[in-house]
Amino acid sequence: MKAIYFAWVRERIGKTEEDISPPAQVRTAGELIAWLSAQGEEYAYAFENPSVIRVALDRAHVKHDAPLGEAREAAFFPPMTGG
Amino acid sequence: MKAIYFAWVRERIGKTEEDISPPAQVRTAGELIAWLSAQGEEYAYAFENPSVIRVALDRAHVKHDAPLGEAREAAFFPPMTGG
Amino acid sequence: MTAQVMPTVRVQADDFDAAAEAALLTQGRTDIGAVVTFTGLCRDEGGRLAALELEHYPGMAEEEISRVAAQACARWPLQGVTAIHRFGKIAPGAQIVLVVTASSHRVAAFEAATFLMDYLKTRAPFWKKEHHKNGTSGEWVAATEADDVAAGRWGT
Amino acid sequence: MTAQVMPTVRVQADDFDAAAEAALLTQGRTDIGAVVTFTGLCRDEGGRLAALELEHYPGMAEEEISRVAAQACARWPLQGVTAIHRFGKIAPGAQIVLVVTASSHRVAAFEAATFLMDYLKTRAPFWKKEHHKNGTSGEWVAATEADDVAAGRWGT
């Protein structure tokens, strides 16, 4: 699946997007954050406080306990500050 | 004092404004309405339902129990419908 | 800051330019974060109305709107307030009333504009008379309880 | 009537013309009684900021704003809704976001515009980064609890 990062999550990881292949036991948005955190120092830094990270699956907001299902795009970002 | 009438109060009385000289015992806005009501059929019609009539003394809204004091201008009108 | 705000209040027969009035509040400034503009328009009530005629109490209308604008400035941190109310015959689709509020913060701008309109509706001395398309000059528009309720919620 | 409203939603780098957008909603119509326009501007935060840079999630930003606009149309009797959000570098005093609502009734127009802004703040995928006048590119603007509270009051 494609992972996309925004704002300081993007800056900390140092990438705009990438293809990721989490193992089958990673089933929810929250588990995906935990798995990504273990992919290196920059990921651990970006996700050091998982509770503030927002997740969108295929461009729709989801809670951390939402199943990944067949999502092809997972986006990770801080709370929005538009408007 | 000067009396001014607006909207259907004006139409019923048939005047925009006039000088009035209520007797000394007329001391409040409500008493002034009651006194005016007795000045003729057109006044009785305009003030037939005194509770809906709004009063302004020298251009400031007052309640019916407000004293006339030294007011030089008393205006009578239906509830406002601006905006 | 609040003390420096001088509300612009006008009661006029002529039309107004909402965008120009809003621009006057913001131009050359970099401390305003939110501008709310309310424009009230004349409806034709399903094709029934040829026009609305707005009668007003000259002098008191300006004073009452200024009083309400001053209340808004005391209650919210505003950087600018404009209120314009027209009188005379107004055709369907035409503008009747304008309120513009400017503030650092959107909630203040929204609340102050809502407050101003609620109070204009129930306190400013204007009365609307309907002119019908069939040529008759119809009824005076009745005040609505909903407007009193809306004004009442501000608890002043 | 509600079903016929097609919200106009745009996410763009270019500036917008609030008055022209409002005119598009009302022109040629005589059934609209109230137009509320909200414009969000870039503040310089007491002279500290040279610019704000707005990052967004292309595609999702439009979708999320459209979703919120559709919710507003379902909840209030609106005759028109426009929402425009800019991205990129924005100078102090410049416009960031526009919401316009048109309705027969002022309360619906006010509430819907307030709702739209509360939801844009907390749901639309935009992030603001500060660029300081001293040349440093500063912090990402933190989301405020006040914005969450404001959005929460609509109970959706």
Q: What is the pLDDT of residues D29-80, one digit of tens each?
A: 999 999 999 999 999 999 999 999 999 999 999 999 999 999 999 999 999 9
In three-state form (DSSP H/G/I as H, E/B as E, the rest C), the secondary structure along chain C is CHHHCCCEEEEECCCCCHHHHHHHHHCCCCCCCEEEEEEEECCCCCCCEEEEEEEECCCHHHHHHHHHHHHHHHHCCEEEEEEEEECEEECCCCEEEEEEEEECCHHHHHHHHHHHHHHHHHHCCEEEEEEECCCCEEEECCCCHHHHHHHHCCCC
Residue C143 pLDDT: 86
Instruction: Quickly tell me which residue has 């309310």 as its tokens.
Output: C38
Subunit contact C63:B81, Cβ cutoff 8 A: no
> What residues in B contact C63, CB-CB < 8 Å?
59-60
Q: Which of D39, D126, D129, D130 to mutate to test the interface with A (most CBs of A within 10 A)?
A: D126
**Residue C1: pLDDT above 60?**
no
What is the complex's ipTM, to 2 decimals?
Answer: 0.93
Domain assignment of residue D87, yes or no: yes
* Ranges B57-71, D99-113, D126-140: which has the least confidence: D126-140
Residue A28's domain is classified under what CATH number?
A: 3.10.20.30
Which range of residues forms the domain containing residue B6? Answer: 2-77
The candidate with the shortest Cα–Cα distance to D22, out of C79, C17, C49, C51, is C17
SS3 A34: helix
CA dihedral sign, ordered C39, C40, C42, C46: positive
- Please state the rounded mean pLDDT for residues C124-136: 92
pLDDT band at C147 (very low <50, low <70, confident <90, very high): confident
Domain assignment of residue D89, yes or no: yes
Domain assignment of residue A83, yes or no: no
Angle CA B40–B46–B52, to nearest 5:
140
Structural domains in chain B (count)? 1
Instruction: Quickly tell me which residue has 């009747």 as its tokens.
Output: C96
Domain assignment of residue B82, yes or no: no
Backbone angles phi, psi at C141, to 5 degrees: -65, 130
Domain assignment of residue B25, yes or no: yes
Domain assignment of residue B40, yes or no: yes
Q: Residue D62: which H helix or E strand, with range?
A: helix D60-75
Domain assignment of residue A82, yes or no: no
**Residue C114: pLDDT above 50?**
yes
Please, is D37 exposed, middle or buried when counting C-beta atoms within 10 Å of its C-beta (0-12, 13-18, 19+)? buried
Instruction: Quickly tell me which residue has 């089933």 as its tokens.
Output: A27
Structural domains in chain C (count)? 1
SS3 D114: helix
Which range of residues forms the domain containing residue D16? Answer: 8-135
Query: Tell me: the pLDDT tens digits for B29-43?
Result: 999 999 999 999 999
Residue C156 pLDDT: 64
CB pairs under 8 A between C and D: 102
CA dihedral sign, ordered B34, B69, B82, B40: positive
Higher per-residue pLDDT: C20 or D143: C20
- C3's tokens: 């003390």
- Please state the rounded mean pLDDT for residues B51-75: 97
Residue C94 pLDDT: 97
Percent of chain A with pLDDT over 90: 99
Residue C2 pLDDT: 43
**Residue D156: pLDDT above 70?**
no
Which of B75, B79, B81 is closest, CB to CB, to C57?
B75
Residue D42's domain is classified under what CATH number?
A: 3.90.1170.40
Inform me whether the C-beta atom of residue B49 falls under 8 Å from chain C C-beta atoms.
Answer: no
The candidate with the shortest Cα–Cα distance to B2, out of B20, B22, B14, B25, is B20
Subunit contact C127:B61, Cβ cutoff 8 A: no
- Which range scores top for mean pLDDT: A36-45, D3-12, D40-49, D117-126? A36-45
**Residue B61: pLDDT above 80?**
yes
**Residue C112: pLDDT above 80?**
yes
**Residue C4: pLDDT above 80?**
no
Amino acid symbol at C32: I
**Residue D2: pLDDT above 60?**
no
Whole-model pTM: value is 0.94
The candidate with the shortest Cα–Cα distance to C32, out of D96, D41, D94, D146, is D41
Cα distances from C98 to residues B3, C18, C84, C86, in angstroms, run: 30, 7, 5, 9
Domain assignment of residue C142, yes or no: no
- A19's tokens: 């293809």
Strand partners, D82: D8, D100
Which of D18, D41, D113 is closest, CB to CB, to C33?
D41
Where helices occur in A6-80 by DSSP H, the ranges are: 7-13, 29-37, 41-46
SS3 D7: coil
Domain assignment of residue D18, yes or no: yes
Residue D1 pLDDT: 45
Query: Mind telling me how many Å the CA of D30 is from chain A's nearest CA?
Result: 31
Cα distances from D78 to residues C43, C145, D32, D67, D101, in angstroms, run: 14, 22, 9, 15, 7
Domain assignment of residue C21, yes or no: yes
Which of D59, D124, D129 is closest, CB to CB, to A82?
D124
- Please state the rounded mean pLDDT for residues C76-103: 98
Query: Mind telling me how many Å the CA of A26 is from chain D's nearest CA?
Result: 24
For chain A, 83 residues long, the average pLDDT of each consecutive 10-residue run is 98 98 97 98 98 96 96 97 91
**Residue D133: pLDDT above 80?**
yes
Residue D64 pLDDT: 96
CB pairs under 8 A between A and D: 72
Domain assignment of residue A61, yes or no: yes
CB atoms within 10 A of CB D46: 8
Residue B13 pLDDT: 98
Q: Do chains B and A touch (3 or more CB pairs under 8 A)?
A: no
Name subunits touching C (3+ CB pairs < 8 A).
Answer: B, D
Domain assignment of residue C119, yes or no: yes
Query: Is residue B83 within 8 Å of C117, Cβ to Cβ?
Result: yes
Which of C18, C34, C117 is closest, CB to CB, to D40?
C34
Mean pLDDT, rounded, of chain B: 97
Query: Is residue A78 within 8 Å of A13, Cβ to Cβ?
Result: no
Percent of chain D with pLDDT over 70: 97
Residue B17 pLDDT: 98
Alpha-carbon span C39 to C53, nearest angstrom: 18
Domain assignment of residue A39, yes or no: yes
